[in-house]
Structure 1
Amino acid sequence: MPQRVTSASLATVLSATLLTGCGAFGLSSGDDATRTVTVWLMENSASPDFLKRFTADFEAKNAGIKLDIQIQPWVGIGPKITKALKGSNPPDVIEVGNTQVAQYAVGGGLEDLTLEAMRDLGSDDWLPGLAEPGSIDAAQYGIPWYAANRVVVYNKDLFAKAGIKQPPADRRQWIRDTRKLNTAGNQGIYLAGQDWYTLSGFIWDEGGELAVESGGQWSGTLDSKAALAGMDFYKELQALGQGPKDADEEHPPQREVFGRGNVGQIVATPGTAKLIEDKNPALRGKIGFFPVPGKSAKRPGTVFTGGSELVVPRATDQRRSAVKVVSALAGDKWQVELARAMNYVPNKAKLSAAVGGEEGLLTMAKGAKYGRATPSSPKWGDVEAKNPIKPYMTQVLTGADPKTAAKAASLSITTTLQKVGE
């Protein structure tokens, strides 16, 4: 797990700043805050109305700074950002996926924003699933912008018919309730065999990891006792439905399967409900949400946190202005506004109550407090590209020895993470 810098180490950072000059404060001589700040944001991350309101407010409060917000497509963005970071004239602020910060920080391509994170942005309160992947070797390169995570989306009518009066609060009750839903031709749950994000949460709940770092080297750990326990629970739950064992949640799209009306539950983001209702209006008002249950009723289960971070390229010639933009976007006022506009979870759990009472968002926020992200290795993207976790899951679900299959998948992860010169 990456180290996080908290307020306890602020004095150390301040001392280092005094020794190295004013650059860490963003006060370099070439940064006069009277020019255009170029911001790359990803498509569909924020609505046009939000961006219009933010731009007007920011420019009114920061005389002399103009924003040039450029929307980028997700497809092909990795190579584009890498090229920009190596150039002499990159954008001044870039939105990146929370699991991508490490790969861009390698080689010194990003500004260290540790001081701003602690001094101005309340980093102690950030969601762990956003804060951790943005922190590399105790330095904060990514500033959390927004989060989203999976919850259990359920059919209220099927729950009522099965005599289930309230959603389960722990794993064992979840299993019992799911069995009750398997009546009259209904499926208690639709869980695809290769939904590795959901599996990751179960592994983390058991105290396991997908991979760990030691002495600068990363190794896959799916064959640990804790990780195998997470896979064992996944197998038990997956068997209570008719999900495919050799495909992920998009093949076929699980929202379409749920939309037929005979599936009790899926694990998905709350926004999936609207897509389901649009496809099958008969389900409108009949879809509910609850956090993925944990091992005990004391807290929800751990979930994978997806989302975005804001980074500042090292080669920017206007660090101070760029940091002002990041601070505004990641600050409390615009965090609440963005969450309201896009049904996101704000970067701080305490802000969720200010967003509103929408059931799906509030449920997602409860789980986000216990969110995690994938390992912060700069090569984790290469692991996902070939993704040995998916076939490993299929092997276990179809009868292979779990430990043998996990060892092979762990070796594949290790080999990818330790490749040199790629």
Structure 2
Amino acid sequence: MRRRLLALLCVTGSLVSACGMLPGEHDRKTVTVWLMKDSASKEFLQRFTEDFEKTHDDLRLDIRIQEWTGIVEKVRKALEPGSGDGPDVIEVGNTQVPLYADGGRLADLTLESMRDWGKEKWLPGLAQPGKDGNKQYGVPWYAANRVVIYRKDLFEQAGIARPPRTRDEWLADTQKLDSGGDQGIYLAGQDWYTLSGFIWDEGGDLAREKDHEWRGTLDTPAALRGMDFYRRLQALGGGPVDADEEHPPQAGVFAAGKVAQIVAVPGLAQAIVRRNPDLRGKLGFFPVPGRTAARPGTVFTGGSDLVVPENTGDQFAATAVVGALTGAKWDTELARTMNYVPNKTTLAGAVADEEGVAAMAAGAAHGRATPHTPQWADVEADNPIKEYMTRVLQGADPATEARRASRKITESLTPDL
């Protein structure tokens, strides 16, 4: 439409200066894009830029790589009205979208996502955090989530012919593996992301909104069932009850050679093999099992969405970049290059030949994210879920501790209480 309008103006002579602005004859409009470090390889970005500028000959890309450290404040500053020559497109963590959308700082991309971008096929764990009511602010780009990394040789020695597909099978198999000096599973006591999946599978939540107020809900029967499963699974190994998966880093524990399983993103396998080359070829992956074999367990889905600041100088150009990056061609290319899950369930076949990524995609098809409120960051800042988990694993009454943790979550989500 833009090119047809300019051509018409030149032909009619209504605006002679427009003739000098035809694509290819004027200075291109620069679109500034902020992407996070290591989200995409340098080679991928070069290929994308060349292709985009070839097919959009009135636009030029200026891709600037950002560090995760300090990014929240940097993005907030860039989103301020009248902030100047800021970015036109920003990659943000999927759970960060509510934080940035608060106060109307992001452009509403609902029409574009409904019309052109296959919204109905987006991964729920990426799409839901990007939405506020009926408005879509964040467009899913790529996802990653936890799977089970396991020792194929130890499974074989225990007589386990295939990975478990249900929680009951998982417990039974892990119990077989938890013998002879080996840990059936290494699961740290404060791995609350993994716990979240068990709670969601039971129909519970970490927190829920009612009448525009958020409340912690760890004390519901469903959430308590999720915690009980976590307790039984965690007991089949030697994971510390008072620390999370990074203290000590579970890759190092697994690499020591006495652990049959961990719950982690598949990419951690590379770190494990670097530490212990003898494990090369012995590691496998399967989705976190669900309550039934009909579908894998629900998992926390991490990843990134793309957003457009409300203060962009050209929303048309910005959405063109978003549409290209998140479209099937380049989203599939990114997933294959970086071992991510593509942003749509219909694109999962693109990574089917990678065992770890395929296991991620199976879980991501119905993955979820943390509660959709800007205040959730305050919960994580002094996370009461971790303390709750430790207390229960140390033998405290789960219902009592769940009520205590739920009150703390509520206080963080409603600071005026």
TM range (shorter): over 0.9
Q: Is the 8 A contact 1:192 1:238 kept in 2?
A: yes
What is the CA–CA distance in structure 2 between the aligned matches of 1:172 and 1:370, rounded to whole Å?
20
Q: Is the 8 A contact 1:340 1:356 kept in 2?
A: no
- The within-5 A match list for 1:249-398 is 249-398=245-394
Please report how far the alpha carbon of residue 33 of structure 1 lies from its aligned counterpart in structure 2 after TM superposition. Answer: 10
Matched, 1:109 2:99: no
What is the CA–CA distance in structure 1 between the aligned matches of 2:134 and 2:211, rounded to whole Å?
15
What is the CA–CA distance in structure 2 between the aligned matches of 1:154 and 1:355, rounded to whole Å?
20
What is the CA–CA distance in structure 2 between the aligned matches of 1:93 and 1:260, rounded to whole Å?
43
Please report how far the alpha carbon of residue 350 of structure 1 lies from its aligned counterpart in structure 2 after TM superposition. Answer: 1.5
The secondary structure found in structure 2 opposite 1:372 is coil
Please report how far the alpha carbon of residue 355 of structure 1 lies from its aligned counterpart in structure 2 after TM superposition. Answer: 3.4
The secondary structure found in structure 1 opposite 2:143 is strand
For structure 1, the residue ranges without an aligned partner over 5 or more in a row are 1-31
CA RMSD of aligned residues (A): 1.3
- The within-5 A match list for 1:13-24 is none
Write the letter of the residue equivalent to 1:49.
E
Write the letter of the residue equivalent to 1:79.
E
Matched, 1:75 2:64: no
TM-score, normalized by length of structure 1? 0.91
Please report how far the alpha carbon of residue 87 of structure 1 lies from its aligned counterpart in structure 2 after TM superposition. Answer: 4.0
Q: Is the 8 A contact 1:209 1:222 kept in 2?
A: yes
Partner of 1:141: 137
Count of residues in correspondence between the two structures: 390
The secondary structure found in structure 1 opposite 2:33 is strand
- The within-5 A match list for 1:396-411 is 396-411=392-407
Q: Is the 8 A contact 1:218 1:418 kept in 2?
A: yes
Q: 1:156 to 1:369 in 2, by over 3 A?
A: same
Please report how far the alpha carbon of residue 420 of structure 1 lies from its aligned counterpart in structure 2 after TM superposition. Answer: 4.7
Give the number of the structure whose alpha-carbon radius of gyration is greater.
2
Write the letter of the residue equivalent to 1:402.
P
Q: Is the 8 A contact 1:33 1:321 kept in 2?
A: no
Q: 1:246 to 1:347 in 2, by over 3 A?
A: same
Matched, 1:45 2:39: yes
Deviation string 1:243-277 (CA, Å, 9 cap, x unpaired) is: 00000000001111111111010000010111111
What is the CA–CA distance in structure 1 between the aligned matches of 2:199 and 2:91, rounded to whole Å?
29
Please report how far the alpha carbon of residue 34 of structure 1 lies from its aligned counterpart in structure 2 after TM superposition. Answer: 4.0
Please report how far the alpha carbon of residue 363 of structure 1 lies from its aligned counterpart in structure 2 after TM superposition. Answer: 1.0
Deviation string 1:290-311 (CA, Å, 9 cap, x unpaired) is: 1000001111000000000000
Write the letter of the residue equivalent to 1:78.
V
The secondary structure found in structure 2 opposite 1:184 is coil
Partner of 1:126: 122
What is the CA–CA distance in structure 2 between the aligned matches of 1:78 and 1:114, rounded to whole Å?
24
Q: Is the 8 A contact 1:197 1:304 kept in 2?
A: yes
The secondary structure found in structure 2 opposite 1:188 is coil
The secondary structure found in structure 2 opposite 1:91 is coil
Q: Is the 8 A contact 1:396 1:402 kept in 2?
A: yes
TM-score, normalized by length of structure 2? 0.92
Please report how far the alpha carbon of residue 354 of structure 1 lies from its aligned counterpart in structure 2 after TM superposition. Answer: 2.2
What is the CA–CA distance in structure 1 between the aligned matches of 2:63 and 2:251, rounded to whole Å?
33
The secondary structure found in structure 1 opposite 2:43 is helix
Partner of 1:229: 225
Q: Would you identify which runs of 4 or more consecutive aligned residues in structure 1 move more than 3 Å?
A: none
Q: Is the 8 A contact 2:336 2:350 kept in 1?
A: no
Q: Is the 8 A contact 1:33 1:318 kept in 2?
A: no
Matched, 1:170 2:198: no
Identity, in percent, stands at 63
